[in-house]
């Protein structure tokens, strides 16, 4: 009887440890509300929006429970760290031009991205799916608050046994008027931004790999119409992590933007007529990583590590691209 009771406890604990939850919760240590995503009570991600935030974004946590992504503001709501408008995993364009020109990247003149409704937030046995209806608006810029784009953003969040968090970022942007998505690669597109501590530590502790090779066109700018993936290696505290973004095949892309302080993403320009819909699919892998192997300061990635990491990223890209085709 005692053995049966003990086994029941173990099974209950195992089930709880694997249980996914998604619950309304305040943004930790900064303004805003949102949805907290956890697995077995351990924080995995937080979809942040609401009062005190200019745009919705996704925070991601590490295996030790530490915040890996940039919060942008402190508890007092004031900007903090380098480039505070970069927050978590997010999307935007510095130039939305039509009847006026608006900055939906920095969002520092009164423009706003507002979550109108959470259409769905469900936990399954395998992860969490969040669907949000978002309005890109002129806000206080101009004579009236005008709708520019309507967005439906879907975030599918899961994690494997090795602690690698997978995020499928699907968005559908519907033009509310004739406009152009413009700007430049450092200030537009769907991006990942590592925590401000990564930039404060020093940029020598970050490194990148990408595919294909592309054409380097200046610091932080690489050209290609066939981007597959980009991988950032970074250190936070005493732990090493990687963040990889996968670009779906056959969707618009022109340039890879990367910065050694820990921000990267894919960029394109697009003219849209009222009612046009632009669909975009990206996958992110955020995972614990071994530290660079070469004994130097700062530590350098070995050729063997680079070969292994490239092969793993390419395999993951193949899986992602096959999955996208089936959707």
> Does residue 286 belong to any structural domain of this protein?
yes
Token digits of residue 243: 């963040």
What pLDDT shows up at residue 320?
A: 97
> In the 8-state DSSP scheme, what is residue 197?
H
Cα 11 to chain centroid, rounded: 34
Provide the pLDDT for residue 215: 86
- Report pLDDT digits (tens) over 46-92: 999 999 999 999 999 999 999 999 999 999 999 998 899 999 999 99
Residue 59 counted as domain residue: no
pLDDT for res 257: 93
- 43 part of a folded domain: no
Q: Both tokens of residue 269?
A: 């320009």
Q: Is residue 99 part of a domain?
A: yes
Per the structure, the count of domains in the chain is 1
Report pLDDT for 16: 52
In a domain, 9, yes or no: no
147 in a structural domain:
yes
Contacts of 115 by beta carbon, 8 Å cutoff, 6+ apart:
49, 50, 56, 132, 133, 134
Is residue 230 situated within a structural domain?
yes
CB atoms within 10 A of CB 293: 14
- Kindly report, residue by residue over 25-42, the tens digit of the pLDDT: 999 999 999 999 999 999
Retrieve residue 34's tokens: 């949102």
How high is the pLDDT of residue 163? 94
Task: Identify the helix (H) or strand (E) that includes residue 160.
Answer: none
Residue 66 in any domain: the answer is: no
First to last CA, the chain: 50
Q: What is the pTM of this model?
A: 0.92
Range of the domain at 120: 92-326
The pLDDT value given to residue 200:
86
Residue segments in the chain with a per-residue pLDDT below the cut of 50: 1-15
What is the predicted pLDDT for the residue at 202?
65
pLDDT at 17: 53
- Percentage of the chain lying above the pLDDT 90 cut: 78
Classify 184 as helix, strand or coil. coil
């Amino acid at each position: 009887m005692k053995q049966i009771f003990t086994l029941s406890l173990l099974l209950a604990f195992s089930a709880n440890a694997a249980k996914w939850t998604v619950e309304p919760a305040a943004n930790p240590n900064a303004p805003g509300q949102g949805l907290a995503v956890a697995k077995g009570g351990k924080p995995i991600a937080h979809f942040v929006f609401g009062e005190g935030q200019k745009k919705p974004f996704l925070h991601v946590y590490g295996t030790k429970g530490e915040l890996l992504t940039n919060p942008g503001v402190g508890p007092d709501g004031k900007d903090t760290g380098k480039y505070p408008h970069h927050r978590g995993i997010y999307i935007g364009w510095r130039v939305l031009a039509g009847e006026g020109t608006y900055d939906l990247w920095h969002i520092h003149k009164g423009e706003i991205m507002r979550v109108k409704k959470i259409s769905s937030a469900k936990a399954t046995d395998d992860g969490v799916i969040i669907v949000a209806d978002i309005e890109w608006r002129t806000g206080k810029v101009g004579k009236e608050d005008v709708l520019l784009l309507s967005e439906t953003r879907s975030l599918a969040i899961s994690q494997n046994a090795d602690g690698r968090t997978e995020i499928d970022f699907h968005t559908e942007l519907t033009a509310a008027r004739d406009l152009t998505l413009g700007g430049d690669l450092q200030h537009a597109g769907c991006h990942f931004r590592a925590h401000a501590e990564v930039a404060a530590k020093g940029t020598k502790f970050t490194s990148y790999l990408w595919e294909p090779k592309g054409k380097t066109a200046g610091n932080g700018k690489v050209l290609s119409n066939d981007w597959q993936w980009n991988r950032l290696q970074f250190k936070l505290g005493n732990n090493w992590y990687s963040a990889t973004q996968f670009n779906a095949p056959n969707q618009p892309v022109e340039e890879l933007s990367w910065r050694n302080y820990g921000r990267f993403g894919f960029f394109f320009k697009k003219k849209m007529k009222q009612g046009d819909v632009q669909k975009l699919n990206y996958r992110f892998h955020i995972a614990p990583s071994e530290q660079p192997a070469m004994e130097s300061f700062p530590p350098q990635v070995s050729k063997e590590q680079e070969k292994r990491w490239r092969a793993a990223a390419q395999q993951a890209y193949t899986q992602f691209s096959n999955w996208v085709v089936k959707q």
